[in-house]
Amino acid sequence: MFLTITTTGTDERPATDLGFLLHKHPDKAQRFSTSHGTAHVLYPEATPQRCTAALMLEVDPVALVRRGRGKGRGGAPDSALAQYVNDRPYAASSLLAVALSNVFSSALRGQCKARPELPVRPLPLRIEVPALPARGGAELVERLFAPLGWTVTAEPVVLDEEFPEWGDSRYVRLVLEGELRLADALRHLYVLLPVLDDAKHYWVAPDEVDKLLRSGEGWLEDHPEQRLITSRYLARRWSLTRNALERLELARLAEADDTEVEEIDNAVAETTEESGAEGDGDGTPATGGGVGDGETADAGKPVPLAVQRREAILEALRGTESARVLDLGCGQGQLLAALLKDVRFTEIVGVDVSMRALNETARRLRLDRMSERQSARLKLMQGSLAYTDSRLRGYDAAVLCEVIEHVDPPRLPALEYAVFGAARPRAVVLTTPNVEYNVRWETLPAGKARHPDHRFEWTREEFRGWARQVAERHGYTVEFRPVGPDDPEVGPPTQLALFRLGEGDPGTDGGTSADHSTSTSNSTSTSNSGTETISTTTAKEAAA
C-alpha cells in the first residue's frame, strides 16, 4: 500500500521535475478516491538535488469485505477469514497497482502537457516498495525486473523475529535503481506488482486484466519471463472464478479446523503458470494434472508414464471383456476420456469424492457439448470408497487408478470392502506406485513420496501381499503386471494388479443368514479365459 519514487537532479535539471511528470505538486499532500480506498500522494523531500514522491493507499478492510456482498461481485463475504484479517492494508498488492494507474494515469501514458520533453527522458530513478508480496521470492523479483534495466535489491522480510523458526515471509523489501523513463517504470510496476502478488482470494475484474496487458506494450513481448507473466494472469483469473463458485463449503471446513483451504481442497492440482499455458483446456494428457501422477518427474521419457498406465489399464480391461466399467477415483477424467474412445465400453461411470474433480472432469470432457449418444455412455457421480454404495453394484469391472495410496492405511479395509465385498465387479484393475522405483527418479529427493497427498507408497512385496489377501478374502484371483520400464533391480514405476472374481467363489450353500426357500442360485461365477480369448475377440472386433 506504499511505495516511493525518488529521482536526483541538478540545478539545471532539478529533481523536482518529478512533480510535473506525475502531475502532482511537491508542496501539497493530495488525496484521491479509488475503488479500494483513499490514495495519497505526498513528497517527503523535494529539492533540486533529490525529490521523492510517496504513493500511499489506505485500504479499508471492512469496506473491502462489505463490497464483496451481494451477487455478481465475485466477493464471498463468508468464505474465508482471510477476507477480514489480511495484508491488503499493508502490502503493495494489485490494489496498489490499480491506485497507481488511477492517480498517475497520464504519467503512465507518458504524457506531460506542461513539459512535453520530460517524459521521453530517462531519469535516475530509485523506487522503494517496502512490503512487496512476492510469490516466487526475491529470486523471481530479480528475474522479472533485472531484464528491464533495473538494478534490483530484494531483501526477504522475516515473518516474526520472535519466531525465527518460521522463516521469511512472502514479502520482500524491494529497491529498484536505474536510468529509465518514468512512464516505463510505472508500467513495470503496474503489471509486475500483481504478478508477484499471491492474492488468490481477491477478485480483479476482467477489464483490469486487459488494461494490464496493454501496459505491457513495448517491454513485455521481449521479456524472458513473458510466458510466466501472462499465464500467471490467466491462471489467476481462473482460480478466482473457481474460488467464488466452488470452494466455499470446503473453505469453511478448513477454517473450522484452523487450516489453510489448500490443505483440504487439493483434489485438483492448482494449474501452475508453467504448465497452465501448455496443458490446460484441450485435455492433452501430457500434464496428467491430477493428484499423484508423479509424471512430472518423467518428462524426459518419450511416452509419459500416465499414458503408459492408461494403456495398461485399457489392455487389462479389454482382457476381461468388460463393457460396463467403473472408474473409482476418476480424478479429472483422463482415463474416462480414453475409455470413451473405445466403443466396447458401453457404460462408463466416473466416481470421485471431490466435487471439484468431477466439475473439472465435466469441463475437460466438454460434457455439455458431447453428443447424446456419447454422453449416454458416461455418468459422473460423487461417491466415496469409505462407504458401501449400492449404485456401484453389478458392473463388469472397476478401475482404481492411483487411488489407494491416497487413503490412510487404517481406512483401507473400508475401501477393500466397498470395492471387493459390496460393489463386487467381475474384475478390478488397480494401480499404485512402486516405491522401490523412486530411486530412479532423478528429480525426486530420497525418501520423499511422489505426491504430497500420498499416504503411503508400497514396495512390490507389500503391494502383492495386500492384493493377495484381498483376493483371498473376497474370492478373487489376482495377477500382477508391470507398467512402465520394468527395471531389473527395482521393478517398474507403477504396479498393476488385475483381480478377477474367481470360480472358487463360495456361497452355494449354508450361511449365517436366511435361506430363502426359493433358493437363489449363484450367478456370480463366470469363466475368464486367458489371453487366447482376448486376442480372438480383438481380432473379431477389428474385422468388424
| CB closer to another protein, 224 vs 465 | 465
| CB closer to another protein, 43 vs 203 | 43
DSSP E strand stretches across 144-294: 151-158, 168-180
For the CB of residue 340, give the shortest distance to another protein in the complex, in Å.
Answer: 25
For the CB of residue 87, give the shortest distance to another protein in the complex, in Å.
Answer: 4
| CB closer to another protein, 259 vs 346 | 259
Cell (9 digits) for 184: 516505463
For the CB of residue 173, give the shortest distance to another protein in the complex, in Å.
Answer: 6
Of the candidates 103, 98, 94, which has an alpha carbon nearest to the alpha carbon of residue 54?
103
**Please, is 281 exposed, middle or buried when counting C-beta atoms within 10 Å of its C-beta (0-12, 13-18, 19+)?**
exposed
| CB closer to another protein, 10 vs 521 | 521
For the CB of residue 391, give the shortest distance to another protein in the complex, in Å.
Answer: 8
| CB closer to another protein, 437 vs 466 | 466
User: CA–CA separation, 170 vs 136, rounded Å?
Assistant: 8
For the CB of residue 269, give the shortest distance to another protein in the complex, in Å.
Answer: 15
For the CB of residue 219, give the shortest distance to another protein in the complex, in Å.
Answer: 27
User: CA–CA separation, 201 vs 244, rounded Å?
Assistant: 9
CA 467 vs CA 97, 471, 477: distances in Å: 57, 6, 9
Of the candidates 387, 393, 397, which has an alpha carbon nearest to the alpha carbon of residue 417?
387
CA 73 vs CA 64, 65, 66: distances in Å: 12, 11, 11
- CA 131, chain centre distance (Å): 26
For the CB of residue 336, give the shortest distance to another protein in the complex, in Å.
Answer: 19
193 contact partners, CB below 8 Å, separation of at least 6? 92, 93, 94, 96, 97, 100, 129, 132
User: CA–CA separation, 164 vs 10, rounded Å?
Assistant: 45
For the CB of residue 465, give the shortest distance to another protein in the complex, in Å.
Answer: 16
| CB closer to another protein, 383 vs 493 | 383
For the CB of residue 410, give the shortest distance to another protein in the complex, in Å.
Answer: 5
| CB closer to another protein, 472 vs 486 | 472
| CB closer to another protein, 298 vs 457 | 457
User: CA–CA separation, 265 vs 243, rounded Å?
Assistant: 11
CB atoms within 10 A of CB 395: 22
**Under 8 Å between Cβ of 122 and 102:** no
Cell (9 digits) for 103: 492517480
| CB closer to another protein, 209 vs 386 | 386
